[in-house]
């Protein structure tokens, strides 16, 4: 079930979407459709995928007609094929037409994320590794995007800059070294906050290992170098593989023995899942 923060973020985005899309009103629908007419509609999948965002779609339609009768045939996380009916709902005809695009914009994007996440999970079957998202989300959509990732079976990395220490190359340059960066920050943050360090060479891996960090990121390494890094670390800390992770590559990366594979494309290169609305009565 979708959480309150995620749904609230969708409401904020809806308000922005309403202003840019509807303005002073839907002049086509309002001049052609009688105001007191009810109709029944369905949302139908037009391709294979995984559904995410039904509560958001329901919220959108109920912004136009609070009395809409909403009957979910499937639920978030469900797999669909072309022709599958996802939801049947009944309400004011104007509300169904005016709310259609805004509801589908949310539902198609989130279902596209869930679908790709699920494809990634299938690729790493048989390996003890987690697929993670990144902060490469559409601004304002982070709660929604990360929710969709979970609906596809993958996991969330840190939510923002405030809930995990991530020491990258620019931080290391300022501090002078990985060791100095870790020492400078370790006693300034609560013990519950994990410290991760980005590395690009085996020498940096060793330095991060000596600094006793929680997670070592292997960034943009070849699969061969990753395997060497995994052997060097020898299960003394968690390992994340990152950088240029594609659907074709991740199974080979998973085989190196890393614990996590983070994939920016889960949320920054979304292909919307094709879903349509049909009036049936």
pLDDT in tens, 140-155: 999 999 999 999 999 9
> Across-strand partners of 238?
215
Query: pLDDT category, 47, cuts 50, 70, 90?
Result: very high
pLDDT on residue 226: 98
pLDDT on residue 1: 82
Rounded to an integer, the average pLDDT of 89-101 is 98
pLDDT 10s digits, 103-129: 999 999 999 999 999 999 999 999 999
pLDDT on residue 119: 98
Mean pLDDT in the chain?
97
Encode burial over 135-168: b for 16+ CB neighbours within 10 A, e otherwise. Answer: bebeeebbbbbbbbbbbbbbeebbeeeeebbbbe
Which residues carry out catalysis? 101, 136, 168, 198, 219
pLDDT 10s digits, 34-43: 999 999 999 9
């Amino acid at each position: 079930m979708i959480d309150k923060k995620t749904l609230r973020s969708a409401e904020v985005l809806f308000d922005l979407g309403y202003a840019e899309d509807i303005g002073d009103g839907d002049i086509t629908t309002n001049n052609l459709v009688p105001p007191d007419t009810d109709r029944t509609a369905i949302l139908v999948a037009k391709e294979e995928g995984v559904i995410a965002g039904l509560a958001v779609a329901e919220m959108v339609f109920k912004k136009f007609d609070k009395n809409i009768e909403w009957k979910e045939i499937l639920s978030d996380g469900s797999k669909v094929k072309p022709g599958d009916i996802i939801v049947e709902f009944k309400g004011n005809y104007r509300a169904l037409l005016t709310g259609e695009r805004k509801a589908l914009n949310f539902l198609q994007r989130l279902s596209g994320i869930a679908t790709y996440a699920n494809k990634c999970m299938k690729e790493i079957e048989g390996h003890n590794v987690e697929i993670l998202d990144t902060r490469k989300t559409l601004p304002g959509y982070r709660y929604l995007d990360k929710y969709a990732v979970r609906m596809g079976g993958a996991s969330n990395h840190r939510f923002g800059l405030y809930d995990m220490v991530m020491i990258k190359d620019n931080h290391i340059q300022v501090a002078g070294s990985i060791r100095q960066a870790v020492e400078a920050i370790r006693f300034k943050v609560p013990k519950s906050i994990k410290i991760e360090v980005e590395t690009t060479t085996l020498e940096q891996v060793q330095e991060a290992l000596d600094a006793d960090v929680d997670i070592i990121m292997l960034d943009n390494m070849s699969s061969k170098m990753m395997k060497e890094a995994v052997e060097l670390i020898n299960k003394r800390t968690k390992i994340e593989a990152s950088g240029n992770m594609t659907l074709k590559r991740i199974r080979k990366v998973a085989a190196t023995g890393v614990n996590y594979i983070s994939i920016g494309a889960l949320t920054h290169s979304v292909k919307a899942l094709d879903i349509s609305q049909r009036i049936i009565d």
